[in-house]
Chain A
Amino acid sequence: MPGDACIMGLFKDEAKAARVIPELAAAGFSFRRAHSPIPSHRILEALKLKKGRVGWFTLAGGIVGFFLGFALAIFTAVQWNLIVSGKPIVSLIPFFIVGFEFTILFSVFGNVIGLLVCSRLPDYRGLESYDPRCSGEHFGVLASCEAGREGELMDFFQKKGAEVKVFA
């Protein structure tokens, strides 16, 4: 909400950072974001995120690639019309190799595109309310509260063993 204050709790311990995430809502604060210097399964579980849609992009890419590979092989073969070793011009058995390779290639394309789309990247605005220590040895939990409750939120974080950083 506009006018809300943003405060980050910086934890040195991953488990403490993960524990505090569900407790924020119970204490009447709004959880905004978590920052971790490493991929953290604990924090990921605490966030209770919905399953991402990146897999669907990968699947779509794979299916498109499979048919595109066959189409490319058939198209190029038909351009030359050369009979090799008495085989048909359009030979599906060897063209499967091209289809398979394109499946993998376009699955990767789909995966990267899905990652960019779902993460809303690139984001040139930069991260608001970020502390560089979250790329070092700290786990950051960003939360917000209504104006006037900043002290309560700071106390909450400090009681949980965090350093506190207040953002304007």
Chain B
Amino acid sequence: MNATTPSVQPGTVPGSQRSLFTLAAVLAAVGVAAFVTGLLGPQPQRAWQAFFINFLLWSAIAQGAVLFAALTHTVKARWAGPLSGLSQAFAGFFPLSLICFLALLIGRDHLFPWLHEDLHGKEIWLNIPFLFSRDGIGFLALYGFGWAFLSQDLKLRIKTTAPAGGLRRWMAGRLPQTEAEIERVRRRKTLWGGLYCFAFALVLSLIGFDLVMSMDPHWISTLFGAYHFVKAFYVGLGALIILAAIVHLHQNRRTAIADAHFHDIGKLFFAFCLLWADFFYVQLTVIWYGNIPEETSYVILRTVTPPWSTLAWIVFIVCFIIPFIVLINRRVKTMPGAMIALCGMVILGIWLEHLLLLGPALNHAAAELPLGVTDGLVFIGFMGLMVLTLTYTFKTFPELLPPGSEAAR
């Protein structure tokens, strides 16, 4: 087997892959059980809140991680190398994300406080049929571009003529044969990648406005959409680093992922840590200067008033202060173990940040943080679903793994 051929054959299910699959399925089942138990309990709105927050977080992770491959390909950044395939594997979560989005319809009465408010003319924009139609179309477009980008990339990667599984067989029947066909696939890949980047900014801005900012329907921040998609790329990069580090460590550092790759993506992660904090600060400054009660009340409630103020400081320290200080160091970016811990911490921080943004609107006059065991279990459930989709994607398309890697074993 040469160095550029993935050692996992499509369709085969090696032992450790099967155990990972089982573990992920158990985690997902735990999450589903916790959610259902919460729905049947005395506070179904808390279960929906946990579902909603985790849907936003894990969808953002998948969307942001895929953006890395689309962006580096579109701007012809060759340094991404083996990270590109890993990043595209996150597209496997897209169908689940879409299903979860549609499931929000069921819990709409618990999730959208503006349903029971006088919106002073905003009803034209904030109504359930229009919101779900436009956001659904947005998700379909974004995920469609992502899948199209991935399929063109796979056409260039797949070499084996031994198809296994329906999806792979379908793909194998469409592989380019001549140089002209290969060139056409490359051009299409660039087109879909560019469209994905464009759609990412537009759709995630829309989602930020519709599903997060609208929870306080009288509060407006024009930068909120940009803040939302920058955050998605930030956590997406974090998840990609974790995946790359796990694959690298699992293979005793013998993959094609070099220190330089970890260093480069670590720098990008550092940059987006700064950008996330910058976008937060830019919004804060404008609101602070304007000093309009409709705007300041949103910030005061979340940063000064208990119990949210403690959470606000935790989010700020975990998502900015600690990563900023740690990532100044060059060497730490090349240490997979340390980066797993740091990126995991940031993802947890952004999970709490979603609670900070949505919690006060969903829990009026809360005396204590609405955070319990159910929230944690639903988080674990979504993590299990993410691992399941990644494992399935790598099993079907092992070409996405770094050359020489046997991570799926």
- Cβ 8 A contact of A94, one of B289, B291, B328: B289
Residues of B close to A97: CB separation below 8 A = 285
Contact A86 B291 (CB under 8 A): yes
Name A54-68 residues within 8 Å CB distance of B. 59
B281 within 8 A of A: yes
* Nearest residue, chain A, Cβ from B284: A93
A94 touches B281 (CB 8 A): no
The complex places the Cα of A96 from the Cα of B289 at a distance, in Å, of 13
A59 near B288: Cβ-Cβ < 8 Å: no
Asked if A85 is at the interface of the complex by the 8 Å CB criterion, the answer is yes
Place the interface of chain A in its size category: under 10
List, in ascending order, chain A residues with CB within 8 A of B291's CB. Answer: 85-87
A-B contact count (CB 8 A): 13
Please give me the residue from chain B that is nearest to A58 by CB atom.
B328
A87 to B328, CA, bound (A): 34
- Distance in angstroms from A11 CB to nearest chain B CB is 26
Q: How far is the CB of A9 from chain B (nearest CB, A)?
A: 30
Q: Could you mark each residue 83-115 of chain A with 1 if its beta carbon is under 8 Å from any beta carbon of chain B, else 0?
A: 001110000011011000000000000000000
Bound-complex Cα distance A42 to B289 (A) = 53
State in angstroms the CA–CA spacing of A101 and B284 once bound together: 18
Interface residues of B in 278-313 (CB under 8 A from A): 281, 284-285, 288-289, 291
Find out whether the CB atom of B328 lies under 8 angstroms from the CB atom of A93.
no
Give a binary string over B257-294; 1 marks a CB under 8 Å from any A CB, 0 the rest: 00000000000000000000000010011001101000
Report the count of interface residues on B (CB-CB < 8 A): 7
Chain B residues lying within 8 Å of A85, measured Cβ to Cβ, are 289, 291
Contact between A59 and B328, CB atoms less than 8 A apart: yes
CA distance A87 to B291 in the complex (A): 9
Alpha-carbon distance A93/B291, docked complex (angstroms)? 13
A residues 37-86 near B (Cβ < 8 Å) are 59, 85-86
How many Å lie between the Cα of A59 and that of B325 in the bound state? Answer: 11
Residues 62-113 of B contacting A (Cβ, < 8 Å): none
Q: Which A residue sits closest to B287, measured CB to CB?
A: A93
Q: Using CB atoms, name the residue of chain A closest to B328.
A: A59
Shortest Cβ distance from B284 into chain A, in angstroms? 7
Inter-chain contacts of B285 with A (CB < 8 A): 93-94, 97
Is B281 within 8 A of A96, CB to CB? yes
CB distance from B79 to the nearest CB of A (A): 14
Which A residues are CB-close (under 8 A) to B288?
93-94
Residues of A contacting B281 in the complex (Cβ-Cβ under 8 angstroms): 96
Q: Which residues from B are CB-within-8-Å of A96? A: 281
Kindly report which residue of chain A lies nearest to residue B331, judged by CB atoms.
A51
Q: With A and B bound together, what is the CA distance between A85 and B289 in angstroms?
A: 8
A149-163 vs B, Cβ < 8 Å mask (1 yes, 0 no):
000000000000000
CA A85 to CA B285, docked complex, whole Å = 14
CB A49 to nearest CB in B, in angstroms, measures: 15
A93–B288 Cα distance when bound, in Å, is 8
- Smallest distance from the beta carbon of A87 to chain B beta carbons, Å? 8
CA distance A97 to B289 in the complex (A): 13
Nearest to A97 among chain B residues (CB) is B285
Closest to B288 in A: A93
| 11 further contact pairs, Cβ within 8 A, besides A87-B291, A97-B285 | A59-B328, A85-B289, A85-B291, A86-B291, A93-B284, A93-B285, A93-B288, A94-B285, A94-B288, A94-B289, A96-B281
Measured CB to CB, the residues of B under 8 A from A are 281, 284-285, 288-289, 291, 328
- Chain A residues in contact with chain B, CB under 8 A? 59, 85-87, 93-94, 96-97
Ranked 4 nearest A-B pairs via Cβ: A93-B288, A93-B285, A94-B285, A85-B291
User: What are 13 A-B interface contacts by the 8 Å CB criterion?
Assistant: A59-B328, A85-B289, A85-B291, A86-B291, A87-B291, A93-B284, A93-B285, A93-B288, A94-B285, A94-B288, A94-B289, A96-B281, A97-B285
